[in-house]
Chains A and B, each alone.
Chain A
């Protein structure tokens, strides 16, 4: 800690870009600029109040948060900030594993619905309120309370039946049926101090939250920035940084410039195209984690021609997904087989994605009675879906399909119209390109995507329904992994989609800032950000 602090004093001003527009010397040899800069800047750094100078980090986020009360929204950028101010019961680790946060241990009872959580002792909110079982009960019930109209209640707490206080540091959460996904859900709601939350009400709490996280809320200037400062009494140890400022910069090129000019230290939402460019520049690094947004090309399996599984498999064989990954993502994506991310419970690496094999595709089409091919409408929307280069992707797909005699008629819709048509089952007889991102890749997402009763507009299969239920409600971990693996194999075989790829989540960083964001829940834990050199 002390060592980090001492080193920081020298390097920080330049690297952390704490307000003066010092740009990184461009065009120098890698490594050299930082060294010169540090000696030049020592004086400046010494002038600033050095006490506890652990660094001021600025992060460019891609949109303005809607609220910092993570129980009251489902917005990713908001959650990133909210999770710095307070903690949840559970965290995910770099490999997607569950780690103890405010809950130190948990187990599920024999009834498979009662989960018992042991809570961390001696934790207090920054306003002095103690953390205990009552707080957990309050936080979760506050989300479930219909009066608060929380959008998070539809996802995060939808399976929770009740929360019971066992003793001061033990809490019981009962689900409405066997549901191992509870752990994944509990990553989202961060703890809320009951007295303060009651005093200010839901709306104001979201504007100026109090938590027990690594950082304390300082100010939120709408549209401009949100500033947090270190919580010296943090239960996990005071963070290495002094302040953390989030700046919403929606325009990617501006965010990039801000990073290059040293105004921000970490820039989220970097596109693969720009990552390529940034990688060669001195003083900057590109980091990222894969598999958070899965791009797929879904087919209407309820009507001809895609009601025939052979046709669907032929579609999968007709498209060279590896080449698409190279072209759309500069090779930075991961192929998907059977709608499962590698981190999804029970993921089976032995299920090979469909090979690119146009001859096989033609054979399958002939077998299905479509030797001469067919024409179908391909629906896409260019904005709002978070897909990198949708149009390029759609056109490439169109090209591949025409090679095997299938003509895709590309129709481009405005985002809202697209979803209206989707919901009105107007994509019947065609296909559509969409994407799916999940905060937690627990397998829960397969329910809304493939279960007949939730969204069976374009795919219905009772056996798949049963397999989904098996995967999301088997509590025993080994049995569950097996059930989910079965489901993956099944989806792969059924091919309701042309499985494409997972887009990477990339971010640019100033050299000397260290943050391992390799996690799919996207949370930036301030205690993991370091300034080194």
Chain B
């Protein structure tokens, strides 16, 4: 039964986080300006603006607005987009698959490259491969995403005539945005894989294993790989959250029809309901990922299960 209690605790925790996120985004969005003025534009008379403000409920005190909003959210009603005149939640949800596709692809790519590369670099410390991998990691970590995206677009579709500059559709469309989005996490994960590998290789039990004649490959597979999975899993959770944020930039650069692209347009148009719906959906995603990561520790690490 302790698991059920832990689960309930985690759930309560998640709800508190989400309400907090909601409250903060609600206030922040409202601090930055009046959507009625922006929606109606310079041609509008003060009377028009006042009318729209009361129509949108912007005249009520903030706490009243927030309570009204919260009670809507509980019923799955995130309000109507000011720009599209459609339910905000629906707008976000219909773009979610594109963002998930991009994020999952980018994370898969990051893991598939970073774990072997980091392990190899750690195992062969000081070798040329190690230097190349670490140089790559530094570069990957320090290049801004939008710049990488623009460069990739210039190199591949524009100069070489392969892959696509923008849009979503085939696997070929996915490659450049996924590479762009993965770079930062790829670099982080590579460094972590390398340092953890180094650390493990210095443990007594590794020396024992090697001493008793176990082949190096078996040592790596049985001991190193297993042990680096725990830090990698927790960093993956953190990085997924970072990626959801990075997706805003990547999606804009590649005209990828995801939630991030929607969020940018919504911010520019002061489309409160859509901004908030996006924040809630993304925050829920991050909370869920952390949940899953916590749960997988038990699977990866038998010691935790035994406890």
Q: Which residues of A contact B (CB under 8 A)?
A: 21-23, 26, 63-64, 66-67, 72, 151, 154-155, 203, 206, 221-225, 247-251, 253-255, 257-258, 260-261, 263, 383-384, 414-417, 419-420, 422-423, 434, 436, 448, 454-455
Contacts and interface: CB of A to CB of B under 8 A. Distances in A.
A261 B164 contact: yes
A86 B164 CA distance: 32
B154 A223 contact: no
Nearest to B153: A257
Nearest to A438: B43
12 contacts: A21-B161, A21-B172, A63-B265, A223-B98, A224-B257, A254-B255, A258-B166, A258-B255, A416-B34, A416-B37, A448-B42, A454-B45
Nearest to A221: B257
A224 B168 contact: yes
Contacts of A154: 44, 48
Interface stretch (B84-92, B213-221, B298-306): B84-92
Interface size class of B (residues with CB under 8 A): 35 or more
B200 interface: no
Given A21-B164, A250-B255, A415-B33, 16 more contacts: A21-B157, A222-B91, A222-B257, A224-B168, A224-B257, A247-B255, A249-B166, A257-B157, A257-B158, A260-B158, A261-B161, A261-B165, A416-B34, A416-B38, A419-B33, A455-B45
A-B interface, 7 closest residue pairs, ranked by CB to CB distance from nearest: A416-B33, A223-B257, A23-B161, A261-B157, A224-B257, A419-B37, A257-B165
Given A26-B159, A417-B33, A247 B166 contact: yes
Given A254-B255, A263-B164, A448 B43 contact: yes
B150 interface: yes
A436 B158 contact: no
A21 B167 CA distance: 12
A386 to B, nearest CB: 11
A248 B169 CA distance: 15
Interface string B246-281: 000000111111100110110010100000000000
A384 B158 contact: no
Given A23-B157, A384-B38, A258 B265 contact: no
A420 B255 contact: no
Contacts of A203: 85-86
B163 interface: yes
A249 B255 CA distance: 5
Contacts of A434: 42
Interface in B42-60: 42-46, 48-49
A416 B257 CA distance: 26
Specify the main secondary structure of chain A where it touches its partner. Answer: mixed
Contacts of A415: 33, 38
Contacts of A454: 45
B95 interface: yes
Interface in B15-34: 32-34
A22 B153 CA distance: 14
Contact of A423 (B49, B253, B262): B49
Nearest to A421: B37
Interface in B66-115: 83-86, 91, 94-95, 98
B162 interface: yes
Interface of B: 32-35, 37-39, 42-46, 48-49, 83-86, 91, 94-95, 98, 150, 153-154, 157-169, 172, 252-258, 261-262, 264-265, 268, 270
Contacts of B262: 223
Contacts of A455: 42, 45
Contacts of B164: 21, 261, 263
A454 B46 CA distance: 9
Nearest to B45: A454
B268 A383 contact: yes
A420 B167 contact: no
A223 B98 CA distance: 10
B45 A21 contact: no
Contact of A254 (B38, B161, B254): B254
Nearest to B264: A250
Nearest to B81: A66
A436 B41 CA distance: 10
Contacts of A64: 265
Contact of A67 (B48, B85, B150, B154): B85
Contact of B158 (A255, A261, A416): A261
Contact of A66 (B32, B84, B264, B270): B84
Contacts of B167: 224-225, 247, 263
B258 A416 contact: no
Contacts of A224: 98, 167-169, 257
A66 B163 contact: no
Contacts of B254: 254
A95 to B, nearest CB: 26
A223 B49 contact: no
A22 B161 CA distance: 6
Contacts of A253: 150, 153
Contacts of B33: 414-417, 419-420
Given A23-B157, A260-B158, A416-B270, A254 B264 contact: no
Contacts of A225: 167
Contacts of B253: 251, 254
Nearest to A222: B94
B130 to A, nearest CB: 36
* Most chain A beta carbons < 10 A, residue from B85, B157, B168, B255: B255
A384 B95 CA distance: 24
